[in-house]
Amino acid sequence: MKDATMDLLVWFRLEWHDPRLEWNPDDYGGLDRAFFTLGIPADTDLWYPDILLWNQDKQLGESLYNTEASVTPNGMVYWSRPGHLKPSCKFDGLKKFPFDVLTCSMEFGSWTKSGLYVRPYAMGGGFHIGGSETSGESFNEFSLLEVTVDEIVYPPFPMAPEEDWPVLIYFVTFDRASEPYVRGFLFLQIMLNVIGFLCFWLPPDSGERMGLAVTALLAAVASEIVIDGQLPRTKEFTWISWFSLISSIWAVIPSIESAIVIYFHNCTSKSILYPRFVQWFKSQRKNKNNDSDEESEERRIPVRRASLLHVPSLRRGENMLPDEEQNNEYWRKVAVVIDEVCRVLVPALYAISLFGVANKRTD
């Protein structure tokens, strides 16, 4: 799937008529069947049509075993070979991954001889599924749904207007087992997002709050990288890509919200801006209005601390000025409001976004 190829274990059968091989069984002691070696041209006893898989990822001569062909007195040659078909697929239906029903087309035809010399047809309906105890699938990711075949004739080239190019196109449709992806990725991503939302219930002065948010985010990213390795590199957006994008956005929100709440919880200035920047900006404006450096130095507002964050060992109220304690009380209320709003709003919006993504499966 990652390489946009398909591997089928098949019995590849060809049948054609060669009038040069007709004989009368009575002339040969009642001989009614003969066997000849076919395969690599240097070891071939008979002519055979060069029917190739046009969209092949691996040549039929390499993926199919060389076997003997059976010839009957009427000149009919029957050649059956076991092996693999490995086409390069232009998958249809991949956009709904992992709930997709994929279709891969295989195009068979003569490579050097036009329909004037070789014209393929679907023998016995063109295919047969099963017939062996080892056929089918079990405990596999994909299960075969149906196979159809169409006979298509390409128009002649201008240099040979009497020679068309007939081909047989097989459409192989199979279903993907979505349960492993639901259990191992979708459900896991939802649980990681929910765990990230638990940050809204942890107190801002708890050191584990930011760690929980970042850990949930990193786990969601790691899970997305694993599932991304199962898909080919394409420009199309699959269903899982939409889900991963929505999940990643909601995994980032708890980290951002926690950072904002912790910032407000420890803020002691009247403005939410960085205090040293505010003090520096005020002092620079006053310096411009003073002619003397000494007067400017006397009027400069001292800076008590270089950060909004207090030392963790200090209890609230210690080493605080009255105005700072009042400012901190206000910002702590703001932090509580943000947490209370996010506890209700974020999970509700997350559920709505999941419902919207789920509806894209039916588009």
Q: What is the mean pLDDT of each run of 10 residues along the chain (363 residues)?
A: 80 92 92 84 76 88 87 94 90 84 92 90 85 75 90 90 93 90 88 91 87 89 79 76 89 92 86 60 62 47 42 49 85 92 94 89 68
Q: Name the pairing type of β-strands 68-71 and 76-85.
A: antiparallel
In eight-state DSSP terms, residue 306 is: S
Which phi and psi angles does 352 have, rounded to 5°?
-65, -40
Enumerate helices (H) and strands (E) in the chain, giving the number of each: 8, 8
Which of the listed CATH numbers 3.40.50.920, 2.60.40.10, 2.70.170.10, 3.40.50.620 matches domain 8-177? 2.70.170.10
- Output the pLDDT for position 278: 55
Whole-number pLDDT of residue 47: 87
DSSP 156: P
Rounded Cα–Cα distance for residues 326 and 317 (Å): 10
Q: How far apart are CA 16 and CA 187, in angstroms?
A: 54
Q: Match 């699959």 to its residue by tokens.
A: 238
- Span between the terminal Cα atoms of the chain, in Å: 23
**pTM: predicted TM-score of the whole model, two decimal places:** 0.72
C-alpha span between 28 and 161 (Å, rounded): 44
pLDDT of residue 16: 93
Q: How many whole angstroms separate alpha carbon 148 and alpha carbon 136?
A: 17
- Scanning the structure block, which residue is given the tokens 């800076």? 303
List of residues 6+ apart from 193 with CB closer than 8 A:
216, 220, 247, 250, 251, 350
The single residue listed with the structure tokens 């004989």 is 23
Do residues 173 and 146 lie in contact, with contact meaning Cβ atoms separated by under 8 Å?
yes
Laid out side by side, the sheet with 68-71 consists of: 8-17, 76-85, 68-71, 34-37
Domain positions in the chain: 8-177, 180-268+333-362
Q: Per CATH, which fold does 180-268+333-362 belong to?
A: Methane Monooxygenase Hydroxylase; Chain G, domain 1 (1.20.58)
